[in-house]
Chain A
Amino acid sequence: MSEEKKKIMFTVRKAPHGSIYVYEGLEVKLIMAAYDADISVVFVDDGVFAVKQGQNTKALGIKGFAATYGALVDYEITKVFVDRQSMEERGMSEDDLLVIGEDEDTEEPIKPQVVDSDEIAAMMAEQHNILAF
C-alpha cells in the first residue's frame, strides 16, 4: 500500500427505530467496509439502543435490521464502540449488547467495546472524516 488508509468514523446517535437514519446508516457502513479505509463505528446517545440485543420489530410492522450488526466482523468492521455514559443513562449494561461477530480463532462472540467519552473524543480527533447518523 502506497499511503496510509484514511480513517473514517461513523457515529450512531439516534434511536434505531422511529426514523430511517440508523438503518440507512448501516447500509453505508457495509458498503464503505469494502473500500480501502480504516472504518470505526461509535454508538452514542440514543444510538446505543441500536446495539441492544433482543430487539423485535414485529409490532412496528417494519423490517428489523439489528441482526445485520451480527455480521459487522464478517465485513471486517471490528472497531465498534459504545459510549459508556450514554449506555448507563439509558439503563443498559454491557450484558445488553448484541454480538457483532465471532473471533476467527477461538469462535468466542465479539461484542462492541464499551469506552468512556474521553476515549471517543481522542479517537474522533484522529479521524480523517466523520459521518453521523
Chain B
Amino acid sequence: MKLAVCIYEGPYNHEASDTAYNFIQAALKRGHEFKGIFFYHDGVYNVTKLMEPPQDDRHIANRWSQLGATGIDIVVCIAAAKRRGIVDDVLVPNVRISGLGQLTMMAIEADRLVVFGD
C-alpha cells in the first residue's frame, strides 16, 4: 500500500513522533511504500539539529534524518515552521522545508494518510 504520514506534535513532549516512527518502521518491514512524511503544527520541532537530548535517550531528529537518508521524502511545513522559528539552517540533513501543497500531494497520491497527534 502507498502510505503517507503527517505528524502534529513536538518531540519528547508527546508520543506522536515515536509512534509514527515505529509505525513507519513496521510498515516498511511489511513492504509498504511511503509517499512522504509531513511535519505540521509543533511537529516541525522534530527535525531541528539544535536538539541535544541526554545521550542515553533516543535522538528523535537524527532518527528522522536517518529515515530521510533512505530516500523517504520528509517535509516540514513552511508556514508552521516560520511561526515557530524553524528555518533551513537548523534542519537535520535529509529533511526539507516546503509548503502545504506537498501534504496535498501526499493526501492525493497515498492510499492512506495516517495522522499522528491529538
Contacts and interface: CB of A to CB of B under 8 A. Distances in A.
A31 B107 contact: no
Interface residues of B, number: 19
A20 interface: yes
Given A21-B41, A24-B40, A32 B100 contact: yes
B6 A131 contact: yes
Contacts, number: 49
A19 B6 CA distance: 18
Nearest to B108: A6
A8 B108 contact: yes
A31 B100 contact: yes
A28 B100 contact: yes
A128 to B, nearest CB: 8
A129 interface: yes
B32 to A, nearest CB: 15
Contacts of B107: 6, 8, 32, 37, 128-129, 131
A72 to B, nearest CB: 16
B104 A131 contact: no
Interface residues of A, number: 20
A102 to B, nearest CB: 26
A131 B80 CA distance: 16
Contacts of A6: 107-108
A47 to B, nearest CB: 13
Nearest to A33: B104
Nearest to A30: B100
B5 to A, nearest CB: 12
B99 interface: yes
7 contacts: A21-B41, A24-B41, A28-B40, A31-B100, A31-B101, A32-B107, A129-B113
Interface of B: 6, 8, 40-41, 79-80, 99-101, 103-105, 107-108, 110, 112-113, 115, 118
Interface of A: 6, 8, 14, 19-21, 24, 27-28, 31-32, 34-37, 128-132
Identify the 9 closest CB pairs spanning chains A and B, nearest first: A31-B100, A129-B113, A35-B104, A6-B108, A129-B107, A32-B104, A8-B107, A28-B100, A24-B41
